[in-house]
Amino acid sequence: MKITKLTPIIRRLTAGNSNMFTGPGTNSYLLGENEVTVIDPGPPMVNHIEDLISLTGKSLKQILITHTHPDHSPGASILKEMTGVPLYGLTTESSRKRDEEIDIDKILNHGDKIKTSEYSIEVIHTPGHASNHLCYFLIDENTLFTGDHIMDGSTVVIAPPDGNMSEYLKSFWEISKRIPN
Ligand SMILES: [Zn+2]
């Protein structure tokens, strides 16, 4: 297991699903120490989920998913089942290649705030790569978790009907509003 501490609040654990679409693998992010949020538990890889549990223990409070593609969200269902922690995100019906099994406890809306005693997250709806794609803005550190909306070292796949290039470009405007002057 290779955990990387990126900032005082953020840790990153990359799943072992490296391929041409995922690059080095899906990044799972852990926010906080005492009230931990996991963003994108990734594919259904039990060893990766067990690593996330061993890193968070009883501190795990909630699971967020950026969207329901199979390399991002199926692990969330396993993590939820193993810990009983609630799962937050957004669903879609139009994607041909989506995680149909997912059972989201709380549907998030654009502008929602998720607050803990350590940090606050704002939800930004960013359709384009997927109609149910959400980015998460960590207000305390001016940091945006972009899921598959922006990727390191690759252009993003926009596959209609769920993917939409016009929506994709408009979503950057929503993101740009959070950039400090
Ligand atoms: Zn995706």
Question: Using CA atoms, how far apart are residues 155 and 134, in angstroms rounded to an integer?
Answer: 18
Q: What local confidence, expressed as pLDDT, does residue 147 receive?
A: 96
If you measure from the C-alpha of residue 48 to the centroid of ligand 1, how many angstroms do you get, rounded to a whole number?
19
DSSP 49-104: HHHHHHHHGGGEEEEE-S---TTTSHHHHHHHHHH---EEE---SS-SS--TT---
Q: 89 with 80: CB under 8 angstroms?
A: no
Handedness of CA 174, 43, 31, 113 (dihedral sign): positive
Query: For 111-133, what is the mean pLDDT?
Result: 97
Over the chain, what is the mean pLDDT? Answer: 94
pLDDT at residue 176 tops 90: yes
If you measure from the C-alpha of residue 24 to the centroid of ligand 1, how many angstroms do you get, rounded to a whole number?
14
User: Which residue(s) pair with 39 in the sheet?
Assistant: 29, 64
If you measure from the C-alpha of residue 117 to the centroid of ligand 1, how many angstroms do you get, rounded to a whole number?
31
Query: For 48-65, what is the mean pLDDT?
Result: 97
Q: What local confidence, expressed as pLDDT, does residue 95 receive?
A: 75
Domain boundaries defined on the chain: 3-176
Query: For 96-100, what is the mean pLDDT?
Result: 80
pLDDT at residue 43 tops 80: yes
If you measure from the C-alpha of residue 171 to the centroid of ligand 1, how many angstroms do you get, rounded to a whole number?
15
Q: What pLDDT, in 10s, does the model give residues 132-156? A: 999 999 999 999 999 999 988 888 9
- Homologous superfamily of the 3-176 domain (CATH): Ribonuclease Z/Hydroxyacylglutathione hydrolase-like (3.60.15.10)
If you measure from the C-alpha of residue 118 to the centroid of ligand 1, how many angstroms do you get, rounded to a whole number?
29
| pLDDT band per the 50, 70, 90 thresholds, residue 179 | confident
19-to-16, 23, 152, 153 alpha-carbon distances in Å: 9, 5, 14, 13
If you measure from the C-alpha of residue 69 to the centroid of ligand 1, how many angstroms do you get, rounded to a whole number?
5
User: Which residue(s) pair with 62 in the sheet?
Assistant: 37
Token reading at 89:
């995100």
Query: For 156-168, what is the mean pLDDT?
Result: 94
> Which residue carries 């939409």 as its tokens?
164
